[in-house]
Structure 1
Amino acid sequence: MIVRKPLFSGLIELNFQAGEVLGCNLYLIYDQDEWVLIDIGYEETVDDYIQIIRDLDFPLSRCKSLIATHADVDHIQGLAKAKQALKTTVTAHPNAVEPLRTGDTLKTLALIEAQNLRMAMPPVEIETQVNDGDVIRVGNLELEVWHTPGHTDSQLAFRLGDVLLSGDNVYRDGCIGAIDAHHGSDIRAFIKSLTRIRDSDVRWLAPSHGPIFAKDNAMLDKVIKRVEGYLHMADFGTLADDWPLMDQWDEEVAQGILPEGLQLPT
């Protein structure tokens, strides 16, 4: 048995507990002997995490559910293995059900052929679907479910008192979860989710990657402004609303305006 290192009452982050980063952040929420695990990470680290949980003296039989923040491979590849080992259920947003049930390698980003990235995505059934406003009870604790789409269409966050388990919405350095059309990113939805987080009265953000940090509205203002700019940038392809440069180009062509410094040959 090892000494538990809760970061907040009823909340342990397993990488911090272990003293090494094994993958994405895994949050063990507990009250007395009952517990849930938010995200599971890669299949290859499932045994390591289960051993940590055993060493923390949590009865494995008392795992109420494995909860997915969203259906990205780095968060959920190990679900099938962990579900079998712990004899428990899986909980996720309705939009995560199909890619998890079918092991969709494209939607989960397990397959990125352009980068020669090919990972297995073991299929897993989802017993419980949750959506915005639902409450997950763990003993006497209550996790308030937020649907915060943007990074993916299945992205969930979970409020526990003053802490928001914020998934891949935003990190301490102001970066946000990757924007990719293939797995359901939506820039406008992302802005709405970030605004909701900023305007909430939560005090702490516990993301899926990197350290927990105090919510900083000034930082979030900058992030939101930056992401709003993505709506008008060619960098984001079909996810952008427009590309103002092309309007300027139409006008310059119509008026015969030459590029600055260019003179037509005589």
Structure 2
Amino acid sequence: MLNRKPLFPGVIELNFQAGEVLGCNVYLVYDADEWLLIDIGYEETVDSFVEIIRQLDFPLSRCKTLVATHADVDHIQGLAKAKAILKTTVTAHPKAVEPLRTGDTLITLAEITAQNLKLEMPPVDIEHQVNDGDIIKVGSLEIEVWHTPGHTDSQLAFRMGDVLLSGDNIYRDGCIGAIDAHHGSDIKAFVKSLERIRDSGVKWLAPSHGPIFANEPEFMNRTIDRVKGYLKMADFGTLAEGWPLMDEWEDEVADGILPEGLGPVSS
């Protein structure tokens, strides 16, 4: 049997427990013998995670549910396999239900033709839907569900006292979950979600990728200010709300303005 290495009371992260990074962060939340998993990662690592759980002496029959933070392939490709092994249910936000149920390879980013990426996305039924403010109980523990859209429209985070299992909202280096129109990103919503996390009073953020870190306002503000800037950048295409350069260009065209040092060319 393995000695348990909880990060917080009732919370084990399975990569940290294993001593190697197998994929996205997978959080096992438990009280006594009852437990659940938040995310599962790729199908190919399911057996490894299940074996770790077995060696931690958690009864496989006591898995309450498998929770999807959102419907991106690197978090949920293994759901169908894990569900079958553990004979349990799947829980997700309503907006994640259809892509998970149908195995949609576009919305889940399992298939990106331009990058020659094509992964299987096994469909899985969702028994339980949760939304902002709902409570998931594990033994005597209560997990508060937050809907934090931005990275995707189905992104969830989970508060347990001073800890937020924060999904793909923000990482220790200040990066955020990828912004991509194909899986429901929304820059304005992202800003609101980051502001909510900053102002929540939560002390620790446990993300879906990388190490745990402190929720410090100055750190959060740097990322929030950067993301706000994306709303005015052509880099983000249809997800931006405007492109100030085009307003400037219209005025310059109307006034016949050229850059300093570049005069009219005679015909």
What range is the shorter-chain TM-score in?
A: over 0.9
Mapped partners of 2:249, 2:196: distance in 1: 37
Q: Match for residue 139 of structure 1?
A: 139
Per-residue CA deviation, residues 132-172 of structure 1 (Å, 9 max, x unaligned), is 00000000000000000000000000001110000000000
Per-residue CA deviation, residues 4-38 of structure 1 (Å, 9 max, x unaligned), is 00010000000000000000000000000000000
2:206 is the alignment partner of 1:173: no
Residue type of the partner of 2:196? R
What is the Cα deviation at residue 260 of structure 1?
2.6
Gaps of 5+ in 1: none
The residue matched to 1:154 in structure 2 has which SS?
coil
Residue type of the partner of 1:129? Q
Alignment of 1:1-266 (within 5 A): 1-266=1-266
Mapped partners of 1:199, 1:215: distance in 2: 9
Mapped partners of 1:165, 1:152: distance in 2: 16
What is the Cα deviation at residue 114 of structure 1?
0.7
The residue matched to 1:241 in structure 2 has which SS?
coil
What is the Cα deviation at residue 264 of structure 1?
2.2
Residue type of the partner of 1:133? G
Residue type of the partner of 1:171? Y
What is the Cα deviation at residue 263 of structure 1?
1.8
Query: Identity of paired residues, percent?
Result: 78
What is the Cα deviation at residue 265 of structure 1?
2.8
The residue matched to 2:95 in structure 1 has which SS?
helix
Per-residue CA deviation, residues 196-235 of structure 1 (Å, 9 max, x unaligned), is 0000011000000000011111010111110000000000
Mapped partners of 1:79, 1:121: distance in 2: 10
TM-score normalised by the chain length of structure 1: 0.99
Mapped partners of 1:139, 1:90: distance in 2: 18
The residue matched to 2:65 in structure 1 has which SS?
strand
Residue type of the partner of 1:194? L
The residue matched to 1:66 in structure 2 has which SS?
strand
The residue matched to 1:9 in structure 2 has which SS?
coil
Mapped partners of 1:10, 1:161: distance in 2: 12
Mapped partners of 2:92, 2:54: distance in 1: 24
The residue matched to 1:22 in structure 2 has which SS?
coil
The residue matched to 2:12 in structure 1 has which SS?
strand
Per-residue CA deviation, residues 86-131 of structure 1 (Å, 9 max, x unaligned), is 0000000000000000000000000111100000000000000000
Q: Which runs of 4+ in 1 moved over 3 A?
A: none
